[in-house]
Amino acid sequence: MKKISSTELSNALGERIDFFVCSASFENRCLTVANALANRIQCTNSLIFYSSISDISISNRNQLKSLLGQSKTREEKISVSSPIDTTVSIARALYELVGTTGGHLLLDATTFTHEQLLIVIRFISHLQGILNTKIKLTITYSGAQQYGYNPKSTEELWLSRGVREIRPVIGFSGRFKTGQMTQLILLVGFENERARAVIEYVEPGALALGIGRKNDSISSELANTNQFFYEKLSTFIKNVSQAFSDVVKFDMSVVDSEITRKELLAVVKPETHNVIICPMNTKISTIGAALVALQDPRIQIMYVEPLEYNELGYSISGTDIRYGEINLFAN
Amino acid sequence: MSSAISTPFSVKTAESLTPAEVASQFVDHEAYRKLIPAGHTFIEGPRGSGKSMLFRYMSPATQSVVTKQDISKLPFIGIIVPVKQANVQMPEMKLLSGSAARLIAENLLVTMVAIQVCRAFDDVLNHVGSDDKLLIEWINVLYTHIQFHVSDAGYTPSATKVECEPAEKLKHCLFALANVERVTQDYLNSLVFCTELPNYGKRLLNYQFFLFPLFEALLAKNQNQNQTFYILVDDADWLREEQTRVLNTWVSFRTSNTVSFKAACQLDYKTFLTSGTRRIESPHDFSRVNLSTIYTQGSYEGWVKNVIEKRLSAFNISVSAEDFFVEDKKQKEKLLTIQREIQSTDWGGPSTDRKRDDAYRYARPELIRRLGGKSKQSSTFLYCGFNQLVDISNATIRFFLESASEMYALQQQKDSPNETHYISPSIQNSVVRNQATHMLQANFDEIVRDYAAGEDSKDLVQKVKQVKNLVDVIGSAFYASLISPTRSERRVLAFALQTEPSDELQEILRLAVSLNFFTVSSIGKKEGFGRTKRYVINRRIAPYYNLDPSGFSGYFWVTSELLLRASTDPAKGKDELRARLPTIMEGAQMTLSIDDLNTDTAFLEIQEVDDEKN
C-alpha cells in the first residue's frame, strides 16, 4: 500500500471508480477521502453506511452526501450490536450496489468498526468467490494526526471504554477442533483495556501480541503525540508477560495489509491450536487479519464491542491517506 | 521473539498441565469431596477459583497417577469437556431456529463429548501406559461404535487396517469425529449470506442413539459395577442458549448410574429450561456447589498454603508460605504493642472480659487508624504477610497467584542475579494496592454483556457509574467505622438491606455483584422474620479504602433509600456518613432525614452483629 497526501489521491488513483463505499462516523476522518475525491465521484454510485445517530455523526453524514452527490448516493443504517442485522443490511446494500455486474470498488475503511469492516470484506469475497462477480477492490485509509485530545489531564486520555460484548465475527467463525489449545493473537492498539478483557474472556493456552511498528505510524505527527498511549501499551504488555507463561510478541505492519497478512501467517498455529485473531489496531491491519482468515478458514476473528466511544475527543484527522488494491484471494 | 518469564506462580491454564503436574499441584479441598458422588452437579465460582484444576484432577489419567490403579478400579471416569476449546459461540447458529437449531446444537455437543472421551483415553495411554486390559477393550468398543455411527450417518469414515494398535484406533476415532465437527461448522459457515436454508446432507448424531449407548457399552465391559462416567463441562456458561437447553435436557434424564453431568460456570448460566418446556431444578435434578461460599476461612487459607508451598518446592524454594510472603517487622511490633495496650488498663476503647479477644478485634483497626493520618491517602499501613494476602484474594486462588506472580517479578528485578527467597513487604503492599486501584478504576473493562443485552448502552454506562458511587460511599463508610476508636465493632465489610430495594436499586446491586465488587448472600431480617440480602465487599479492594480484610467482620443495616441516594450523589452520601457516625456509634434509633443535618435523626442504623463465616 502507498502513502499519499489527500490532495494527490485523485491523480494517484487514476482509473475510473465505479462504486464508492464508506462509513459515516463521529470522526471527521470519515470525510477525508470523500473530500479528496469529491469532484471525481459525483457520478459514481456511492454507499454510505452509518450506525451512530449522534449530532456529529448526522452532520458528517450530511456532508458526505453533499460531497458524493445526492442523486447517486445511498445510505444504509447498520447495527453496532447485532451482527445478524448488520450482515443482512451490508449484504443487501452491497448487492444492490454492485450486484453481478462488478467493477472497480473503492472502499474507504477508515471509520467502520472492525466488525463492520470485516463483514463488508467477507461479503465482497462472497460476491467474488461464489457469485463470480468481477470486482477490483481498492482500499483507502485516512490516518489520524492524534488520538485522544482535549482531555483535562493526560491521565484522562481515552478512546473507548468498557466492554459490551466479545464475539466471533460472523463469516469469520473459523473451524475449531474440540480439545485443542487456543492461540489468541491480539493486534494490540491503544485501547488495551479491551485487550485485557479478551485475554480474560478467552483464557488462551498461547498468546501472541502483535505490536505496530512505531516507524510505520500512519502519520509523521502520530508517533510523537501519542507517547502516552505507547507507554500504557508497554506497561500492559509487561503485565501480561508476567502473568502468562506462553507469550510471544511480534512486530507487525499497520500500514500495509499484505505485509500484515504475511507477518500473521508466520505466527498462527492452526495445525496444533484453535486460532483466534482479535484486531484492535488500524483498519489496515484488520484487513490483513481478514486476508489470513479468508486464506485459512480454520482461523477465527473476534471482535470486542466497547460500551462507549469518546466521540468528542477521539481523533484529529491527519493529511495522509494510505491506499492500495487488495486481492482477497491471494496466497 | 519469546518473552516467557519463569515464576513459581505463573497462571498456566490447567489444560496445559500433564497429569503428573496436576497431581503434584492439586490440593484436596471440600469442593472435590462434594463432586465425587454420582449425580448431576452445577459448580459455580468466579474465574480463578480452581474449577478447571478440579476437573483435571478428576480425569482418568490423573486419577490413575494419584491412586496408582488401573482405570477399571477407579470409581468414576471424568471426561472433561472444555467448552472454551470448542467453537460453540459461532454467531451463525443464530441463523437457525426451532428444531434445526436444536439438532445442530446437539450434534455439535455429542461430537465434542465423544472427542473428549477419545482424548481422555489417549491421555491414559500416553501418561499411564498401555497395559490396562480394560482400557484396550474400551478403545475397541469406542472404535467400533464411532466408525459404525459416523459412516452410517453419511460421513466419510477413516480408512483403517483391520487390526491396529490402540493409539492408532484412537487417532482414527478422532479423525472421524473431527470430520463430523468440520462438516457441521462448515455448514454453519455456509449459512452466512444464504437466502435459503441449505440441506445438511447427512444424519445428525444425538445423545439418545449415539452418545448414551456408547457409555452403556463401555461400562458393560467393566466388572466394577459401581463405576460411572462423569461428563465435566467446563465453562458451561459459554454455551449458547440452544446448546444450554440441550445440556439441560441430558441433565433431566435419570442416568446417574451410567453418566452424571458436572457443569462448571463463572457467570450466570443462561437458562435452566430444557429443549422442551421443562425446567431442571435443584435439588430434584441436580445439586449445587458454590466455590465462593464453600470455603470456611480456615480451610481456604490452609488450601492456599499447600498450593503455594507445592509451587515453591517445585521451584526449589524451600520456605513456608509465611516465610516467603513476609510480614513487616516494624509493623508487627507496633501491632504487638497495641495488643498489649488493649489488654492493659491503659486502653480507653471498648472492652470486654475477654482481653485476648479484644486484642484480636481491635489491634489492627487501631494500628490502621494510628498510621492513617488525617486522610486515607496518607496511610502507611502495609498490606503484607501471607495471611493478609490470603484474605485479600477473596477466596479465589487465581487472584492470589496473579498477585504473587507480579510480586515475584518485581522482587526478581531487585534481587537479580541472586535468587529470590522472599517477597519484601513493600512490594507486596505496592502490588495489592495497585491491583485494588486498578479494579476500582477499571469498571468499564468488565464484561457486562449479559446485562447489556437489550439495553441502551447509555443506561448501562449510567448504572456502572452508580455502582462506582455506591462502592465508594460504602468503602468510605467501612473506613470511617474502622478508624472510629469508640465503636465496639470497627471491622465492617458488609451491609444488609433493611428495606425492600426498588427495581432501580436491584439493578445497580445486581450489576455491582456481577462486576465482582460484592458477593451476595441471604440472611434473616432484622425484625426476625423473613429474609433479606447481605452484600460483602470484595476484599481485593480493601487496600484501596485501607480496610482490614482479615477475620470476621460486622455489617451495617442500611436502608435501600440511602443506597439509592448514595449511588447518585456520593459526595453528599459521604458527608452525611461522617456527620452521623458519632450518633451511629451510640446506637440511637435512626430515621431518614438526608437533607436536614440539624435534627437528631440519622439515616443509618447500625446493628453490630458478629458475621457468620464468609
pLDDT in tens, A170-201: 999 999 999 898 999 999 887 777 888 888 88
How far does the CA of residue B284 sit from the closest CA of chain A (Å)? 31
| Contact flag A167-B11 (C-beta cutoff 8 Å) | no
| Contact flag A164-B116 (C-beta cutoff 8 Å) | no
pLDDT digits (tens, 9 = 90+) for A251-300: 899 999 999 999 999 999 999 999 999 999 999 999 999 999 999 999 99
Q: Which of residues 46-105 of A touch B (CB under 8 A)?
A: 81, 83-84, 87, 91
Give CA–CA dist B584/B490, Å, rounded: 12
Neighboring chain B residues of A166 at a CB cutoff of 8 Å:
447, 449
What 3-state class would DSSP assign to B182?
helix
Tell me the average pLDDT across A18-45: 87
Give CA–CA dist A119/A107, Å, rounded: 13
Kindly report the number of other CB atoms within 10 A of residue B524's CB atom.
Answer: 12
| Strands (DSSP E) found in B437-583 | 492-497, 518-524, 531-537, 554-558
Question: Is residue B487 a contact partner of residue B585, using CB atoms and an 8 Å limit?
Answer: yes
The partner residues of A160 in beta bridges, in order of sequence, read A309
CB-closest option in B7, B92, B445 to A163: B445
Spatial CA neighbour of A302 closest among A310, A293, A311, A315: A293
Neighboring chain A residues of B193 at a CB cutoff of 8 Å:
87, 91, 123, 126, 130, 171
Give CA–CA dist B400/B110, Å, rounded: 36
Neighboring chain A residues of B82 at a CB cutoff of 8 Å:
178-179
Neighboring chain B residues of A179 at a CB cutoff of 8 Å:
82, 85-86, 115-116, 119
Kindly report the number of other CB atoms within 10 A of residue B510's CB atom.
Answer: 16
Give CA–CA dist B168/B151, Å, rounded: 18
What 3-state class would DSSP assign to B611?
coil
Find, in chain B, the residue whose alpha carbon is nearest to that of A196. B445
Neighboring chain A residues of B447 at a CB cutoff of 8 Å:
163, 165-166, 197, 200-201
| Contact flag A308-B95 (C-beta cutoff 8 Å) | no
Give CA–CA dist A130/A125, Å, rounded: 8
Residue A160: φ, ψ to 5°:
-145, 160
Best of B192, B408, B410 to disrupt the A interface by mutation (most A CBs within 10 Å)?
Answer: B192
CB-closest option in A165, A177, A245 to B452: A165
Neighboring chain B residues of A130 at a CB cutoff of 8 Å:
193
* CA A222 to chain CA mean position, Å: 18
Residue A281: φ, ψ to 5°:
-105, -135
pLDDT digits (tens, 9 = 90+) for A101-112: 888 999 999 999
Neighboring chain B residues of A205 at a CB cutoff of 8 Å:
13, 15-16
CA atoms within 13 A on the CB side of B307: 26
- The percent of residues above 70 in pLDDT, for chain B, comes to 85
- Give whole-number Cα distances, B467 to A8, A238, B544, in Å: 51, 30, 16
A290: Cβ–Cβ under 8 A, 6 or more apart, which residues? Answer: A117, A118, A121, A122, A172, A301, A328
pLDDT for the residue numbered B329: 95
Q: State pTM to two decimals.
A: 0.78
| Contact flag B402-A247 (C-beta cutoff 8 Å) | no
Query: Using N-to-C axis directions, what is the helix angle for B397-415 and B297-314, rounded to 10°?
Result: 40
Best of A122, A242, A273 to disrupt the B interface by mutation (most B CBs within 10 Å)?
Answer: A242
What 3-state class would DSSP assign to B50?
coil
Neighboring chain B residues of A194 at a CB cutoff of 8 Å:
445
pLDDT for the residue numbered A6: 85
Spatial CA neighbour of A290 closest among A175, A141, A123, A161: A123
Neighboring chain A residues of B406 at a CB cutoff of 8 Å:
239, 242-243
A3: Cβ–Cβ under 8 A, 6 or more apart, which residues? Answer: A255, A320, A321, A322
- The CA-based diameter of chain A, rounded to the nearest angstrom, is 58
pLDDT for the residue numbered B263: 95
| Contact flag A244-B82 (C-beta cutoff 8 Å) | no
CB-closest option in B94, B178, B192 to A177: B178
Give CA–CA dist A23/A108, Å, rounded: 7
The partner residues of A186 in beta bridges, in order of sequence, read A209, A278
A57: part of which helix (H) or strand (E)?
Answer: helix A55-68
Written as one string, the DSSP assignment of A91-160 is: HHHHHHHHTTT-EEEEEE-TTS-HHHHHHHHHHHHHHHHTS---EEEEEEEEEEEEES-S-SSGGG--SE
Q: Can you list the alpha helix ranges (DSSP code H) found in B68-192?
A: 98-127, 133-152, 166-190
Tell me the average pLDDT across A299-311: 87
The per-residue b/e assignment along B324-357, b for 16 or more CB within 10 angstroms, e otherwise, is: bbbbbeebbebbeebbebbeeeebebbbeeeeee
Question: Is residue B419 a contact partner of residue B15, using CB atoms and an 8 Å limit?
Answer: no
B511's grid cell:
450489576
Cell 487396517, residue located? B161
Q: Give the least confident one: A128-142, A149-163, B276-290.
A: A149-163
Residue, of A246 and A202, whose pLDDT is higher: A202
Q: Does A243 touch chain B (CB under 8 A)?
A: yes
Mean pLDDT, consecutive 10-residue segments, chain B of 614 residues? Answer: 57 75 82 88 82 92 92 94 92 92 95 97 88 91 95 81 82 94 95 90 94 96 92 93 95 91 86 89 87 65 88 88 95 92 83 80 88 65 94 86 90 88 95 88 49 56 85 89 82 85 90 84 71 87 91 76 87 72 38 27 28 31
Question: What one-character DSSP code corresponds to residue A38?
Answer: T
- The CA-based diameter of chain B, rounded to the nearest angstrom, is 93
Cβ burial, residue B197 (10 Å; 0-12/13-18/19+): exposed
pLDDT digits (tens, 9 = 90+) for A215-259: 676 555 555 545 666 677 677 777 766 666 678 888 899 999 999
Neighboring chain B residues of A210 at a CB cutoff of 8 Å:
none
Q: Can you list the alpha helix ranges (DSSP code H) found in B59-132?
A: 60-67, 98-127
* Residue A116 scores a pLDDT above 90: yes
B492's grid cell:
465492617
| Strands (DSSP E) found in B15-90 | 41-44, 76-82
pLDDT for the residue numbered B437: 87
pLDDT for the residue numbered B600: 27
The partner residues of A21 in beta bridges, in order of sequence, read A47, A107
Q: Does A252 touch chain B (CB under 8 A)?
A: no
| Contact flag B89-A239 (C-beta cutoff 8 Å) | no
Instruction: Return the amino acid letter for A238.
Output: K
Question: Is residue B553 a contact partner of residue B493, using CB atoms and an 8 Å limit?
Answer: yes
pLDDT for the residue numbered B597: 27
| Contact flag A174-B87 (C-beta cutoff 8 Å) | yes
Find, in chain A, the residue whose alpha carbon is nearest to that of B401. A243
Give CA–CA dist B287/A204, Å, rounded: 30
B109's grid cell:
455437543
Q: Can you list the alpha helix ranges (DSSP code H) found in B419-456?
A: 425-441, 449-452
Question: What one-character DSSP code corresponds to residue B208?
Answer: I
- Give whole-number Cα distances, B434 to A329, B322, B406, in Å: 48, 22, 11
* Residue A13 scores a pLDDT above 70: yes
pLDDT for the residue numbered B608: 30
A253's grid cell:
505492519
pLDDT for the residue numbered B293: 65
How far does the CA of residue A12 sit from the closest CA of chain B (Å)? 34
* Residue A150 scores a pLDDT above 90: no
How far does the CA of residue B118 sit from the closest CA of chain A (Å)? 10
How far does the CA of residue B35 sit from the closest CA of chain A (Å)? 22
Q: Which of residues 269-308 of A touch B (CB under 8 A)?
A: 274, 297, 300, 307-308
How far does the CA of residue A200 sit from the closest CA of chain B (Å)? 9
| Helix, strand, coil shares, percent, chain B, to 5 | 55, 10, 35
Neighboring chain B residues of A164 at a CB cutoff of 8 Å:
448-449, 452, 457, 460
How far does the CA of residue B48 sit from the closest CA of chain A (Å)? 10
Expressed in angstroms, the distance from the first to the final Cα of chain A is: 17
Q: Is the dihedral of CA A78, A83, A89, A92 positive or negative?
A: positive
Spatial CA neighbour of B125 closest among B180, B170, B58, B94: B170
- Give whole-number Cα distances, B43 to B34, B94, B305, B542, B607, in Å: 10, 27, 23, 27, 34
Question: Is residue A106 a contact partner of residue A98, using CB atoms and an 8 Å limit?
Answer: no
Question: Is residue B605 a contact partner of residue B589, using CB atoms and an 8 Å limit?
Answer: yes
Q: Is the dihedral of CA B92, B96, B102, B106 positive or negative?
A: negative
CA atoms within 13 A on the CB side of A239: 17
Written as one string, the DSSP assignment of B451-476 is: HHTTS-HHHHHHHHHHHHHHHHHHHH
